[in-house]
Amino acid sequence: MLELLRQPWPWYISGFAISLIMAMLLYFGKSFGFSSNLRTICSISGAGQKVKFFDFNWRKEIWNLLFLVGSVIGGYIVSQWLSTPDPMQLSASTINDLKGLGIHFDGGLNPSQLFGKDFATSPKGFFILLTGGALVGFGSRYAGGCTSGHAISGLSNLQVPSLVAVIGFFIGGLVMTYFLFPLIF
């Protein structure tokens, strides 16, 4: 059984579980949207004293921070007890395309070339990771949600604005992948 759980889980299990998580949060009287936590953390750090956007009752959002803590624990559980040493099954064409950019597939979840110590502590690497995060943080608040809030919660509620946001996610993602990656890497 444990051996089976250690294998990668198929997309339909994952998709089903994510919709279940959304439904569970609705049943708890909340809604599934992860990026709100970033605003809450800013607010707890005192950003509300200077910027009105962060001046709200963050105590009502503690439930979502607990969800965040759980997600960190979940990642830890998988890396400690539920993973296999086998390399990930990545499509051969992706491996090839990335090789063209000088990024080698090493079998892990994330390339050690980008998420290893050497890159993260180099000025260029640090800047790339920080900027990438900033784009995600700025963009998700500007768009009013991220993948969970728009692509899952919003689309499930047939919200056209969420569909526009998801189209935006792809415009940005494709521009980065096809036009900016060759300049960055």
Window 35 to 64, contacts with other proteins (CB under 8 A)? 35, 37-39, 41-42, 47, 51-54, 62-64
Written as six digits, the tokens of 89 are: 């099954």
Site for other proteins contains 173 (CB under 8 A): yes
Give yes or no for residue 182 binding other proteins (CB under 8 A). Answer: no
**Residue 111 binds other proteins, judged by CB under 8 A:** yes
Name the minimum Å distance from CB 164 to other proteins. Answer: 4
Count the alpha carbons within 13 Å of 181 in the hemisphere toward its beta carbon.
15
Interface residue with other proteins, options 1, 2, 160, 183 (CB under 8 A): 160
Q: Does 84 bind other proteins (CB under 8 A)?
A: no
| Interface of this chain with other proteins, residues 2 to 41, rule: CB under 8 A | 5, 8-30, 34-35, 37-39, 41
Tokens 């909340």 — which residue? 30
- Give, for 159, the enclosing helix (H) or strand (E): none
When asked if residue 119 is in the footprint of other proteins (CB under 8 A), the reply is yes
Q: Do residues 69 and 151 touch, judged by C-beta distance below 8 A?
A: no
Q: What 3-state DSSP class applies to 37?
A: helix
Distance CA 106, CA 108 (A): 6
